[in-house]
Structures are given as structure tokens and as C-alpha cells.
């Protein structure tokens, strides 16, 4: 069986829903007749996964006859090249992945197949985080640095951080299905979860606590979640740490920036790609 979580929403929230479930081939957003409302649906492998979405976002859950929604809808897009360090591909295990690893033998090729979790790398919010992460890591090559990933989704940023020299790493997402995908991706890409290289676990940003303050903290979350969680984000960032915020619609950036300023965080000129803003900052 397949379990479907669905929720009705105002059309003004379409961008936010698209960003949250971008890369999730089991998510469908439909504009309803009249143009003022939309329906968000996410197809889940288990009832528990659907109920978790319901618990977090409201809405309803129903059971339907099973279909392989990922196999039916997944489209493998061209690889994403990040600086001279990383190539992100949706190819899973197989000859095409090996061909990419041969072609880009001087870079890390990260395999993140389309699954039921956000973060295949091609969305502007994730791609910008990766670019800033690569740049930040270059300035930390001669030192140890810890990494915290809030809203890890597919685990892509945690995998990249480890390759770039981070350790220890902590990554968290409220979505149990996303964490299962993240764990698979970590194992697929050689990031060990059994020898203290990384901790990847389910957690609500408003209840979960990291084991340490982070030298580099990335939060790729809804703007309203970022604003509400900013006191915790500020507390979790090391005194000389770097924070990267993403998942922000451009018109919402001033409110996020102001919330961050109240916690002593300041930012340079943000990166704007289409509707989305990503910003890198530190303590004042």
C-alpha cells in the first residue's frame, strides 16, 4: 500500500511548498479551480511517514493502492558541478555513475538518486549552500572544524562537508523518511555513521540539541522556521563560526536578517537566484 498525506493551502504559499518538497519525486502540488487554493500531496511508503507529515503540517492521510511512484516519475538530470571540488549526480549505482567518477576523477562525485527527501542538489537553495560550503572549507584547510546541518533532507550537505574536511558532523531533519534516505546516501557515498564521523538523526529544530557548538552551521529551512529558531541557531554557532541560511524567498529575507541581527549575527550581500536567497554570516 501507499499512504498519501495531503493538505490544502492558500496559493500564496506555493513557492514555499515547492521549495520544501523540491527533489521529492513523490510530491505533487496542484492548483485548484478558482486559483486561490492549492493541494499538496506526498506519497509515502508507510503510514508512519505520512502521519509524521500530518503531525508536523496538519492535513490528512489516506491509503491507496500501491504504485512505484519514484520509478514512474523520476527523471535523472545532468550532473551539478560545484567549483572544482564536487559533482552531484542523480545516478545511482551502475555504469553511468562509474563513467562520471572516471570523467571527474579529480573531484568527489556524490550520488544522490531522486528519493522521498529534499536535496538532490539542483535546487538553487541547496546549490548555493554547496558553493558557499566549498568556499568556506578552503579557508579552514589547516584547522579542524565541526559542521551542523539543520534540515539535512537527503544528507547531501553533510556528505560534502565530510569530503571538504569537516568533523565531527551532525545532521538533523524532522522527517523520518528523509533521515532514512540520508543514511542510505551517506553509506552510498562512503560517509561512515559507525565510527563517529557523523551523526544523522531525526530531530525537531525546536526540541533537538546538538552535542557541541558548530564552526560551520547551515540551516536550509522555511523562512518562518528560521525566524522562530534563530535564538537556537545563534546559540549553536561557535564564537568564530560561519552560518549559512537558505530556503528563503527573497521578499522574506529582510525578516530573516532582522531576526538574526537580534541574536548578534550579521551577513554580507546575499546571493539571489530567481525567487531564492542564500546568505552567509558570522557574529558581529
The CATH code of the domain that includes 42 is 3.30.70
Same domain, 31 and 157: no
**Which helix (H) or strand (E) covers residue 7, if one does?**
strand 2-10
Same domain, 165 and 229: yes
Judged against a pLDDT cut of 50, whether residue 69 lies above it is answered with no
From the CB of residue 144, how many other CB atoms can be counted at a distance below 10 Å?
A: 10
> Looking at the domain assignment, is residue 258 inside a domain?
yes
DSSP 36: S
Q: What band does 259 get if pLDDT is binned at 50, 70 and 90? A: very high
Calpha distance 277→114 (Å, rounded):
24
Winning range, highest mean pLDDT, from 43-57, 84-98, 107-121 = 84-98
DSSP H helix total and E strand total for the chain = 9, 15
CB distance 246 to 218 below 8 Å:
yes
pTM comes to 0.77
Q: What band does 29 get if pLDDT is binned at 50, 70 and 90? A: confident
Same domain, 151 and 48: no
**Final residue in a domain of this structure, among 72, 105, 134:** 72
**How buried is 197 (Cβ within 10 angstroms: 0-12 exposed, 13-18 middle, 19+ buried)?**
middle
How many domains would you assign to the chain? 2
Calpha distance 236→243 (Å, rounded):
10
pLDDT > 70 in the chain, percent: 91
Name the residue range of residue 218's domain.
Answer: 119-283
Same domain, 240 and 182: yes
> Looking at the domain assignment, is residue 82 inside a domain?
no
Same domain, 256 and 148: yes
Same domain, 41 and 126: no
> Looking at the domain assignment, is residue 85 inside a domain?
no
* Average of per-residue pLDDT across 96-125: 83
Write out pLDDT tens, residues 269-280: 999 988 889 999
Same domain, 64 and 128: no
Amino acid at each position: 500500500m501507499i499512504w498519501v498525506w495531503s493538505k490544502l493551502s492558500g496559493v500564496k504559499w506555493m513557492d514555499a511548498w515547492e521549495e520544501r518538497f523540491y527533489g521529492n519525486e513523490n510530491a505533487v502540488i496542484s492548483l485548484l479551480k478558482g486559483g486561490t487554493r492549492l493541494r499538496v500531496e506526498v506519497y509515502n511508503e508507510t503510514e508512519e511517514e505520512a502521519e509524521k507529515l500530518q503531525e508536523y503540517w496538519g492535513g490528512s492521510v489516506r491509503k491507496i493502492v500501491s504504485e512505484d511512484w519514484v520509478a514512474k516519475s523520476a527523471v535523472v538530470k545532468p550532473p551539478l558541478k560545484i567549483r572544482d571540488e564536487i559533482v552531484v549526480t542523480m545516478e545511482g549505482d551502475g555504469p553511468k555513475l562509474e563513467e562520471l567518477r572516471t570523467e571527474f576523477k579529480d573531484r568527489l562525485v556524490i550520488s544522490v538518486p531522486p528519493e522521498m527527501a529534499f536535496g538532490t542538489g539542483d535546487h538553487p537553495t541547496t546549490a548555493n549552500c554547496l558553493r558557499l560550503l566549498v568556499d568556506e572549507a578552503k579557508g579552514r584547510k589547516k584547522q579542524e572544524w565541526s559542521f551542523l546541518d539543520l534540515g539535512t533532507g537527503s544528507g547531501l550537505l553533510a556528505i560534502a562537508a565530510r569530503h571538504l574536511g569537516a568533523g565531527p558532523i551532525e545532521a538533523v531533519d524532522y522527517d523520518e523518511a528523509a533521515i532514512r534516505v540520508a543514511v542510505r546516501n551517506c553509506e552510498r557515498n562512503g560517509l561512515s555513521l559507525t565510527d563517529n564521523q557523523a551523526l544523522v538523526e531525526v530531530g525537531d529544530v525546536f526540541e533537538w540539541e546538538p552535542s557541541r557548538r558548530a564552526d560551520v552551521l547551515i540551516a536550509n529551512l522555511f523562512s518562518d522556521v528560521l525566524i522562530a529558531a534563530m535564538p537556537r541557531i545563534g546559540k549553536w554557532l561557535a564564537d568564530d563560526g560561519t552560518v549559512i541560511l537558505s530556503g528563503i524567498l527573497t521578499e522574506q529575507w529582510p525578516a530573516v536578517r532582522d531576526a538574526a541581527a537580534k541574536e548578534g549575527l550579521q551577513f554580507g550581500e546575499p546571493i539571489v537566484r530567481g525567487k531564492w536567497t542564500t546568505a552567509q554570516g558570522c557574529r558581529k
